[in-house]
Each structure stands twice: as C-alpha cells, then as structure tokens.
Amino acid sequence: MRELLSCKIHKATITDANVEYVGSITIDSDLLDKIDLWEGQKVLVVSNTTGARLETYVIKGPRGNGEICINGAAAHLIKKNEEVIIIGFQFSDKLIEPKCILVDENNRFVRYL
C-alpha cells in the first residue's frame, strides 16, 4: 500500500484566514465535487506565495461562492490572498488517476489538468 496523489486544486486563492476558528480549511463545495475531495479528508496545503506547507482537513463550504478559507492555527502560516495548491492523497495498492483542476483568481473552475 502506498499513499498517492488523488486530487489537486492548483492556483487557488485564499479568500479568508480566521485564526479564531477551530482548525481546518473551508473549500467551496463545487470544487470538492470536481475533484472528489471529502469533508474531513486530510489535505496538504502549499503556498505558492511564501512556500509554507501544512496539513489539515477539509470543511465543506457553501456552494458556488469560491470560498477557500484557512482556519485556526494554520492562518498564522497562510494568509488571505495567498495563492495555494491544495493536495489530497489516497492509499492504494494500484496506480490511480488523480483528479487535478486549475482555478482562476476567483476560485472558479478553469479546466482539468
């Protein structure tokens, strides 16, 4: 069994960073559906702006608003308006075809990668 890339949201923009919230990253439900990312699933968030990297879990956000909010202690590392890559992984004993998408500056789907 190996842990493999299962999905990725590339060039997303952080719409808010809330240190008062108890942990996680909130992501627009439309984006979660596009890449088959589940609420509660662990993700790696990488800032293209600063190089910061962190692991957290997904909270399903409202559909269609483009929200991607870093919550809790993670908001000390990644701030509002930073560009990020959000990466999901899956354990498998076979190769899998990851679902990777590119979004625009408003976190709207552009195309599959």
Catalytic residues, by residue number, are 24, 57
Calculate the CA dihedral of residues 53, 56, 59, 62 and round it to 10 degrees: -10
Residues 78, 45 contacting (CB under 8 angstroms): yes
Distance of CA 69 to the CA centre of its chain: 9
Cα dihedral 90/91/96/100 (nearest 10) = 10
In sequence order, the 6+-apart residues with CB closer than 8 A to the CB of 111 are 101, 102
What are the structure tokens assigned to 33, written together?
């559906």
